[in-house]
Structure 1
Amino acid sequence: PASLEIDQKQVKPKGLETGKLETMTSESVGVQPDSAKEDSAEKPLNYLNSSQFTSELFKIEVKNFRPHTTVAMLKKRMQSLGLEPHKVKVMPNSWMAFVTFKNADQRDKALSVLPGHIWRGQALTAKLAKPKADPFGNAAAADSGQSSSAAKRPRLDTDTAADSKPAPLSAEAASELLRDAVTPLWRLGYEEQLKQKSQDMSSEVKQLTRQVAAVGGISAGSVEMMPIVASPVVDKYRNKCQFTVAWSPTQTDSVVVGFRVGRYRDGEADVYPPDTAAVVPTVIVAVVRRLQALLNEPDMKRRAPPYDAKRHVGCWKAATVRCNSSNRTLLYLDIHQPFLTANDTSDKTEMSLRDFIENRLQNGLLGDQDGCVASLHVVYTDHGGGETNGLWRHLGGDPDITETLGGLSFRVSPAAFFQVNTAAAEVLHNRIYSMLQHGESDSDNQSSALLDVCCGTGTIGLSLARYFSQVVGIELIADAVRDAQLNAQRNGIENASFVCGRAEDTLPREAKLLAETVSDLRVVLDPPRGGLQPSVLSTIRRCRSIRRLLYVSCCPRAARSNFVDLCRPASNKWRGDPFRLALVQPVDLFPLTKHCELLLLFVREPADAAADASE
């Protein structure tokens, strides 16, 4: 589930909204199905009147562009016209996209520039788009039998709907619901899980080969898929979990820290504690219990209640816990800054809300007792939540924790990317190396260099540094690059360096420099779930010195277009010899879930072979 994982990125905080929010108490934001539903049912778009930022206020609808236009293409075109799109969503199987902006001026500028603009032979159209209804407003409207243009759901019998309130789940039912959401394969033995994942990956590879053939790429019909590699551990393996803080769905006026069951877009936000989630280590469960007890203290509930997703008000939004193999833990809490701004007291007889929160966290969570943490942080976020737009503050303990992987020591800071299954990550790195060496001997590496693109904190490149003459890591996030450099120093690795920048900008220069000293250049790509921008792949294809490429994908379906672009024939757009998919290896890093890492080895095909395949 998405709640288990968050993007590893942090940037400067944006300006905070300081509009007045209503003063809240635990009673006013507790479990209150009647009043909350009535407000939402009457106004499913009520969140637009909140003091919080929402880009739905500044959304337009763009139409009439050519088929197969991607988000990156549309965004780049708009930027070339001096526009600053915030979010772009191209609707599948259509010629329409929704584009949001950060303010009315940018939106209005787009509405004046885009209509009639000729792009790729098409005259674009643009108009204001209707804001998206709050999912909870939709659900509440359906429950109460009220209808609106924004909440288009079947009308219910108001006589029965008004009196119907879902009964709290029993402990057994709640436990089963949680396990189905967090560990959907928990009913299967591990061998059956591996069999199912292997079949899923095999189907994905077949679909990929069909798409490669459809674009005239080099035939991948003979691609070899190796047997799936099992994880060394099956349960309690996650070294990082992100939890939601909310009001309990089963106990009135009680705060719960756990996993959200259901999807926000479906109007579901019930949260249940992680005690029965088999992937969560015991040490993390202990931290959650201690934190939950602290947040249920009367003064804490009165002054700093949890964030209410239905009403978009409250203090605590999320808690992320990390642990290492020595059971040392790191905790960071996501605090909703607008709530603090609106509810901080000017009464000199009472401690400021921020000081109250920080003091109580320091006194209650740092130490050597059960459930206490070795490293404590908070991130004050404006809109959107998460560490992507927040102001970080280290409250106490160590600034980070350290983990050992493959005999190396790695710094794990709050927002750093680190594989969630440490034992399986070591297996993954060994497989990456063996696949890069497929069909060759270790002696061939004496004149080989490795480019680690999207290197994060350098775990892959540093783990493989002993096999190559040089390793260069490329990463966009400056903090991750600093962590990688520190990790290289603390492990005494002198043949690895790390560069901060966009891959399409830095890769050509680094590849050229390496090609001057080595005869063989190999690349490891470990991008985010959705894959890389086409510009990065185009850059890789133009680097003739790259002969082998190992792509690490945690979601092959989302990144499939990347694989096709690497294999499609050379053209004016895709210059450079194409690659051929030679070997595929599934590696299970996520037992009890449907997810699986897939390693794909691409080898550079000479131009004459590519021409033969196209014919």
Structure 2
Amino acid sequence: MKVKAPVQQGQAYRVKIVNLTYQGLGVGIYKDFPIFINNALPGEDVLTRIIRVKRHFSFGKVLKFYQQSPDRVHSIDEKYLQTGIAPLEHLKYPAQLKFKHDQVAELFKKAGLKVQVKPTIGMKKPYQYRNKAQIPVKMVKGQLETGFYKRHSHYLVPITDFYIQDPKIDQTILVVRNILRKYQIVPYNERTHRGVIRNVMVRRGRKSHQIMVGLVTRSKKLPHAEEITKAIVDKCPEVKSVIHNINLRDNNVLLGTKNRLLYGKPYIDDQLMGLTFRISLNAFYQVNPVQTQKLYSIAIKEAQLKPNQIAIDAYCGIGTISLSIAKYVKRVYGVEIVPQAIKDAKVNAKLNHIDNVKFVANRAEDQMPLWAKHGIRPDVIFVDPPRKGLAESFIKSAASVKPKKIVYISCKPATLVRDVRRFNQLGYHVTQPVQPVDQFPQTVQIESVTVLERK
């Protein structure tokens, strides 16, 4: 028998906010029925209108505050909450750090794992930190606009100051927007599949100050490419690379695989951990270099590396972790499934005159047994996977080569906890407190360092 929800769409209810979800939504309870409410914080008493009802929960919008949290920030821009650019912007920064700590600790506790979690390491300046932006371009009210999508929609909210991005990136985006308007470049329409420009991507080296501009199109040709490129370079002297990226697919993949160099070099350089890295348009490079320094330094310290050890860097990308740990160990082996990333990693090794690192393009779970057959057995394996975490096949493969330690850099606590449980079954256990690092202030994302040891 289907049970009717005690709330109705369009109706208003008074509720107290008892918690925050991992998405940063306030949780109100009405007759034991959860209501997830944007811009609501624990301890607040609100009147909420129900905007959507599901079988076991609903979504609401704040109409009125009867009581507000002492942790609330009042001078906020609604655009950041509407679009999800800064979903925790309304929460004071110390409370954001506690929220992230509690998320990690609670997930371990729910999984029945007795793991200590240290306080989250934050930033002195928890905004204007991102060194990369990929901004959608749309026609809004008859004019080309750059901005960000409203949550759960394809409606673009025009934005000029993105708050969490390097201000120079925001300025460059506005210059590009105005130039695209001048040359009447038509934004791509995903419904009609007509138009040209899909996204503008901008990278900026925090230390080098070099800027790369990527123009992502749905068409093979970019009209007025020469004039547009010259105008960008003239107005933005820090721009050292302009690339036309062709993405013909009708899906949510942001970048295509084909690049045409319009100006400069197909990369920019930047410095991290005292090393120089060459960064191409499609390369993965951590977006918050200030916190990445802390994250990698913690991972290296917790690994307790020794000069006679062998280390494997799975998911090595362009070699940021591999090259950062090279001076602490005898040899590093980096493996990554993306061939272009391995090419970049090899170039980065040469740039930094590091010769005790070997990079291979392959699936990590397939490569580690091959290395083991040749007598290469790691003392430590570093993993820094995407949000989906580690494949079960990788976990089995990693355990089979019997490293003493596995250093897990995670960007999603739920998959971290899942993977720790799998490692437990294979004899690896968390031996020291987990360290969360706030890599993405004002957002709900959480990075952390976890060390597992073989018992």
If the TM-score is normalised by the length of the shorter chain, which range does it land in?
0.7 to 0.9
Give 2:270's match in structure 1, choosing from 403, 409, 412: 403
Aligned AA (1:446): P
Matched, 1:562 2:435: no
Number of aligned residue pairs: 378
Aligned-residue offset at 1:521: 1.1
Give 2:390's match in structure 1, choosing from 532, 537, 558: 532
Instruction: Using structure 2 for the length normalisation, give the TM-score.
Output: 0.78
Aligned-residue offset at 1:398: 2.4
Q: 1:550 to 1:401 in 2, by over 3 A?
A: same
Matched, 1:421 2:288: yes
Q: 1:489 to 1:232 in 2, by over 3 A?
A: farther
- Does the CA-based 8 Å contact 1:333-1:378 persist in structure 2? yes
Mapped to 1, the partners of 2:157 and 2:180 lie a distance apart of 15
Mapped to 1, the partners of 2:329 and 2:101 lie a distance apart of 31
- Does the CA-based 8 Å contact 1:283-1:327 persist in structure 2? no
Aligned-residue offset at 1:253: 1.4
Structure-2 residue corresponding to 1:329: 211
Mapped to 1, the partners of 2:320 and 2:423 lie a distance apart of 25
- Does the CA-based 8 Å contact 2:345-2:359 persist in structure 1? yes
Aligned-residue offset at 1:515: 4.2
Aligned-residue offset at 1:512: 4.7
Aligned-residue offset at 1:387: 5.7
Partner SS for 2:223 = helix
Partner SS for 1:586 = strand
Matched, 1:551 2:408: yes
Give 2:142's match in structure 1, choosing from 253, 259, 268: 253
- Does the CA-based 8 Å contact 1:334-1:385 persist in structure 2? no
Structure-1 residue corresponding to 2:442: 592
Q: 1:270 to 1:560 in 2, by over 3 A?
A: same
Farther off after superposition, 184-193 or 375-384: 184-193
Matched, 1:373 2:254: no
Mapped to 2, the partners of 1:360 and 1:185 lie a distance apart of 41
Aligned-residue offset at 1:416: 0.8
Mapped to 1, the partners of 2:412 and 2:349 lie a distance apart of 29
Mapped to 1, the partners of 2:345 and 2:180 lie a distance apart of 35
Partner SS for 1:366 = helix
Mapped to 2, the partners of 1:482 and 1:416 lie a distance apart of 11
Structure-1 residue corresponding to 2:186: 305
**Where do 1:92-107 residues align within 5 Å?**
none
Aligned-residue offset at 1:559: 4.6
- What is the identity percentage for the equivalent residue pairs of Structure 1 and Structure 2? 27
Aligned AA (1:314): G
1:136-184 deviations in whole A, cap 9, x for unaligned? xxxxxxxxxxxxxxxxxxxxxxxxxxxxxxxxxxxxx994223552111
Q: 1:201 to 1:559 in 2, by over 3 A?
A: closer
1:538-562 deviations in whole A, cap 9, x for unaligned? 1112112x12101111112145432
Give 2:319's match in structure 1, choosing from 454, 458, 479: 458
Mapped to 2, the partners of 1:474 and 1:391 lie a distance apart of 23
Unaligned runs of 5+ in 2: 1-74
Structure-1 residue corresponding to 2:248: 382
1:511-532 deviations in whole A, cap 9, x for unaligned? 454646xxx6100011111012
Mapped to 1, the partners of 2:200 and 2:320 lie a distance apart of 25
Partner SS for 2:322 = helix
Aligned AA (2:419): N
Mapped to 2, the partners of 1:226 and 1:559 lie a distance apart of 16
Aligned-residue offset at 1:371: 7.3
Aligned AA (2:336): E
* Superposition RMSD in Å: 2.3
Partner SS for 2:239 = coil
Mapped to 2, the partners of 1:394 and 1:579 lie a distance apart of 47
**Where do 1:203-602 residues align within 5 Å?**
203-208=106-111, 210=112, 220-221=113-114, 223-248=115-140, 252-264=141-153, 268-275=154-161, 277-297=162-182, 300-301=183-184, 304-325=185-206, 326-337=208-219, 354=221, 356-367=223-234, 369-370=235-236, 373-383=239-249, 384=251, 386=253, 389-437=256-304, 445-513=306-374, 515=376, 521-544=379-402, 546-568=403-425, 577-583=426-432, 584-602=434-452
- Does the CA-based 8 Å contact 2:331-2:357 persist in structure 1? yes
Mapped to 2, the partners of 1:446 and 1:207 lie a distance apart of 39
Larger Rg computed on CA atoms? 1
Aligned AA (2:311): L
Mapped to 1, the partners of 2:356 and 2:123 lie a distance apart of 30
- Does the CA-based 8 Å contact 1:378-1:394 persist in structure 2? yes
Partner SS for 2:297 = helix
Mapped to 2, the partners of 1:370 and 1:486 lie a distance apart of 27
Aligned-residue offset at 1:460: 0.8
Partner SS for 1:182 = coil
Mapped to 2, the partners of 1:465 and 1:284 lie a distance apart of 32
Aligned-residue offset at 1:328: 1.8
Aligned AA (1:603): E
Aligned AA (1:207): K
